[in-house]
Structure 1
Amino acid sequence: MAKMWMIRGEGGRLYDDFRERKAAAIGWAELAPKAKPGMSRKELTVIYQQVEPNVKLGTAISGASQVWRFINEIQEGDWVVTYSPANRTYLVGKVTGPYQYRPEWTEDDMPLIRPVQWKTIEVERDMLSVRSKNTLGATLTVFLLPDTVMQELLSDSKVSSGFGTSSMIADTEELEPEADPLAGLEILAIERIKDLISRLDWEEMQDLVAGLLRAMGYKTQVSPAGPDRGKDIIASPDGFGFENPRIIVEVKHRKGQMGTQQIRSFLGGRHKDDRGLYVSTGGFSKEAYYEAERANVPLTLWTLDNLVRALVENYEQTDSETKRLVPLKRTYFPA
């Protein structure tokens, strides 16, 4: 019976590569050419330590276990899912063949692949239950998802038609221990903060971005509701926009990626001395990033992931109104 696996690609960086190359992939470049079907986890761990002699034992065990599962346990017909932190979407597909070693993709951190037929419909994280969000938040590169999460993803993505969703017994084997479980907690915390911010309305999101810019040392003017001529916030050292840098900010708090047309529209009203910041909680298309790189004024694109990380970095300097929008508590761990 079909199972469903989470396969993360470099923290979500390879999301578009997975889709375009019709594959799911993992790295471990030094281990990849030596990993073969039928090897035990212990054998792979020993090889890992040989090719990476400075690696810690816990890291070797965790990495070798995930490579072993990718090669030996994932089967043709299984479901796979991968996540984009920038767009907060899950891509779902089916494995269509055996694992392959692709040395020509090593530089892209994709030496070990599984061919996958990806579905065009993506699943939005905000549409999932809290339980599924928590399960999908585990930070291992390869892990098996329980039946309840698989059924929810297939239902929400409407990709099960024609494939069947026969029930399976949830995997009872514990997940491999992560090499650094504390490092994983930071990623989980970032995702929880994103969940909190996603529930803000558009006006609160605009106030949050303005509050963050003030924490970063700027004074802000926030446009009232209504036609804004392509700007929601003006940030500058003096608060009037007379002193440079004069940052023009557009905030889009909606589902779906911003594309080239939206970027061109924003750039159309900019002056040569302006600096642009475009915030889209729905993310950006690859073409939008290309458009921003070719812009005639400096332009930075912020996804929700960029926004949250900047907020965490500057949270202590934010004012009470900004903290009210997103209440956070600092936690310390051993260095």
Structure 2
Amino acid sequence: MTTIWGVHNDQPQLDLVANGFVSIGWDDLGDLTDLKDDREDAKERVARKRPYLKPGAIPVTAGTLLSFRHRMRPGDLVIYPYKPDSTINIGRITGDYYFAKDAPTHANRRPVTWLRTSIPRTTFSQSARYEIGSAVTVFQVKQHKQEFLDFLDGATSATAPSVAEAEPEAAADEAADQPDPERIETYTRDFIIETLMTKLEGIDFEHFVAHLLGAMGYRTEVTSPSRDGGYDILASHDPLLLEPPIVKVQCKRTTSSIGRPEVQQLTGTLAAGGSELGLFVTLGSYSADAQHEERHRQNLRLINGRQLVKLIFEHYDKFSLEYKRLLPLRPVYIVDSTLS
């Protein structure tokens, strides 16, 4: 039976997908090649290298080391959630553990051939997303293993709950079991993306983005479908939308990846000289080529789903009652164990 592992990585600049590996940090623990497949030996090593750890954290760290060094095997599948754009990557482990001694960070690695990349999180059921949001760095995916295998086989998950089933109250109940701030934020982010995707039509999403820009201090005008020439919204700090810079906004209500050609459609409408700026907003992510286009253009800004949710959080208090009913949110204080 295929084993599926989950690996969390907090160093997106390593580009695990492009470079074909998964890694864990903890470089202070050194090369794990000589680590025995023995829990007591692993615990002794962790205690010696990290004397500042609380006693309860030592077995958890030792278990992670053993999983990455010994339990993972070539042929196993691995799921790597990519936080910057809230997507998921699935690959197959193709070799044994190795220590990349010249790497500046995350030298503990395993080679991976990536099978599917940049998968929208909302492709999977809420409970599956919750499982791979484990607070542990390396963990085995068991409860929703078949759902991920079915996805790789081309099946569409029939277990994903509708937005109606995923009400905010359910988040509070589920979060109470494991009150981890990041997991609760992830659940809320998924709820927002899923709601905007399923509850709004394309033109409705454009009006929602215009409303958000209004909450941010912009005057906006949504173009009619017949006048859509590569952009959906005009925005400006000028009440009459006459004084530059004028922002042309293109909206795509999709959780898929946006490519460079779609972005260039927007940039092709911009006047030269900096009087017009381009803003692309999507619920999904952007391809590497599209991100390259943004880096080389001072008049272009790309907003992915994760960044859109962050803006919603920041300006939610200025939302109309209509949109607060669409996205019923409330601020909550949560214990942050990283500060203790």
Residues 207 and 322 of structure 1 are in contact (CA less than 8 Å); yes or no, is this contact kept in structure 2? no
Residue equivalent to 2:166: none
CA distance in 1, matches of 2:91, 2:276: 43
Residues 130 and 183 of structure 2 are in contact (CA less than 8 Å); yes or no, is this contact kept in structure 1? no
**Which deviations, in whole Å up to 9, do the C-alpha atoms of 1:53-73 show, x marking residues without a partner?**
666666665444323321121
CA distance in 2, matches of 1:46, 1:299: 53
CA distance in 2, matches of 1:201, 1:57: 53
Residue equivalent to 1:125: 121
Question: Which structure carries more relative contact order (alpha carbon 8 Å, separation 6+)?
Answer: 1
- How is 1:296-311 mapped onto 2 (pairs within 5 angstroms)? 297-311=298-312
Residue equivalent to 2:97: 99
The residue identity in structure 2 corresponding to 1:104 is D
Aligned length: 311
Residue equivalent to 1:319: 320
Q: SS where residue 27 of structure 2 aligns? A: coil
Moved more, 90-99 or 56-65: 56-65
Q: SS where residue 104 of structure 2 aligns? A: helix
CA distance in 1, matches of 2:47, 2:311: 37
CA distance in 1, matches of 2:40, 2:216: 49
CA distance in 2, matches of 1:185, 1:282: 20
Q: SS where residue 234 of structure 2 aligns? A: strand
Residue equivalent to 2:218: 218
Residue equivalent to 1:283: 285
Moved more, 24-33 or 209-218: 24-33
1:157 aligns with 2:152: yes
CA distance in 1, matches of 2:294, 2:275: 16
Q: SS where residue 332 of structure 1 aligns? A: coil
Q: SS where residue 103 of structure 1 aligns? A: coil
The residue identity in structure 2 corresponding to 1:287 is D
Shift of 1:257: 1.7
Residue equivalent to 2:22: 24
CA distance in 2, matches of 1:186, 1:267: 33
The residue identity in structure 1 corresponding to 2:148 is L
Q: SS where residue 119 of structure 1 aligns? A: strand
Deviation >6 Å, runs of 4+: none
Shift of 1:224: 2.2
Residues 73 and 93 of structure 2 are in contact (CA less than 8 Å); yes or no, is this contact kept in structure 1? yes
**Residues 209 and 86 (structure 1 numbering): CA distance in 2 closer, same or farther, change over 3 Å?**
farther
The residue identity in structure 1 corresponding to 2:146 is Q
The residue identity in structure 1 corresponding to 2:101 is P
**Residues 2 and 240 (structure 1 numbering): CA distance in 2 closer, same or farther, change over 3 Å?**
same
Shift of 1:249: 1.2
**Which deviations, in whole Å up to 9, do the C-alpha atoms of 1:251-298 show, x marking residues without a partner?**
111253222222222111112222221112231111111111112x42
**Residues 228 and 49 (structure 1 numbering): CA distance in 2 closer, same or farther, change over 3 Å?**
farther
Residues 251 and 280 of structure 1 are in contact (CA less than 8 Å); yes or no, is this contact kept in structure 2? yes
Shift of 1:96: 1.8
**Could you say what the CA RMSD is over the residues aligned between the two structures, in angstroms?**
3.0
Residues 121 and 158 of structure 1 are in contact (CA less than 8 Å); yes or no, is this contact kept in structure 2? no
The residue identity in structure 1 corresponding to 2:251 is V
Residue equivalent to 1:174: none
Residue equivalent to 2:161: none
Shift of 1:308: 0.5
Q: Which runs of 5+ in 2 are unaligned?
A: 156-177
**Residues 242 and 49 (structure 1 numbering): CA distance in 2 closer, same or farther, change over 3 Å?**
farther
Residue equivalent to 2:232: 232
Moved more, 26-35 or 42-51: 42-51
Moved more, 325-334 or 30-39: 30-39
The residue identity in structure 1 corresponding to 2:124 is L
CA distance in 2, matches of 1:292, 1:135: 34
Residues 221 and 235 of structure 1 are in contact (CA less than 8 Å); yes or no, is this contact kept in structure 2? yes
CA distance in 1, matches of 2:75, 2:244: 57
Residue equivalent to 1:249: 249
